[in-house]
């Protein structure tokens, strides 16, 4: 999963931007939207999906459970419904560790 290089927080993200954050196809984002109740994108007049930061955070949880931990979609859905706060904490810890690893790797390459 790629980290978001842009530190400014936006109001809405397009489906392409969200897919790019996780290095997945837009079809997977649409599929997860249908499978998980926590994803509720806004749609503009043209029908384009616009995702909020909360949606992106929920995608982080889904990605973590399905792609990194190997949960089934049903298992991930149940886990999110029961323990969303715990999962969000784990995802935030992983983000911090990945940032630290990237920093250390960059530091190592400069030595």
Q: What is the per-residue pLDDT across 28-49, written as a single tens digit (0 to 9) for each?
A: 999 999 999 999 999 999 999 9
pLDDT above 90 for 19: yes
Q: Which pLDDT score, from 0 to 100, does residue 8 have?
A: 62
* Predicted TM-score of the model (pTM): 0.74
Where does residue 54 rank: exposed (0-12), middle (13-18), buried (19+ CB within 10 A)? Answer: exposed
User: Residue range 58-68: average pLDDT?
Assistant: 92
Residue 4, pLDDT above cutoff 70: no
Q: Say which residues have a Cβ less than 8 Å from residue 79's Cβ, sequence separation at least 6.
A: 65, 71, 87
As a CATH number, domain 13-110 is 1.10.1660.10
Provide the pLDDT for residue 36. 94
Instruction: Read off the pLDDT of each residue in 14-23 and give the average, rounded to a whole number.
Output: 95
Q: Where are the domains of the chain?
A: 13-110
Q: What is the mean pLDDT of residues 80-95?
A: 85
pLDDT score, position 87: 83
Region 6-18: mean pLDDT is 82
What are the contacts of 59-66 at 24+ separation with CB within 8 A? 59/18, 59/21, 59/22, 59/29, 59/32, 60/91, 60/95, 61/87, 61/88, 61/91, 62/32, 62/36, 63/1, 63/22, 63/24, 64/90, 64/91, 64/94
């Amino acid at each position: 999963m790629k980290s978001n290089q842009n530190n400014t927080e936006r109001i809405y993200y397009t489906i392409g931007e969200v897919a790019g954050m996780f290095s997945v196809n837009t079809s997977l984002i649409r599929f997860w939207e249908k499978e998980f109740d926590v994803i509720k994108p806004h749609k503009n007049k043209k029908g384009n999906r616009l995702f909020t930061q909360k949606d992106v955070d929920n995608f982080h949880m889904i990605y973590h459970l399905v792609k990194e931990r190997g949960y089934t979609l049903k298992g991930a859905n149940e886990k999110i419904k029961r323990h969303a706060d715990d999962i969000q904490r784990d995802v935030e810890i992983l983000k911090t560790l990945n940032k630290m690893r990237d920093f250390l790797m960059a530091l190592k390459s400069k030595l």
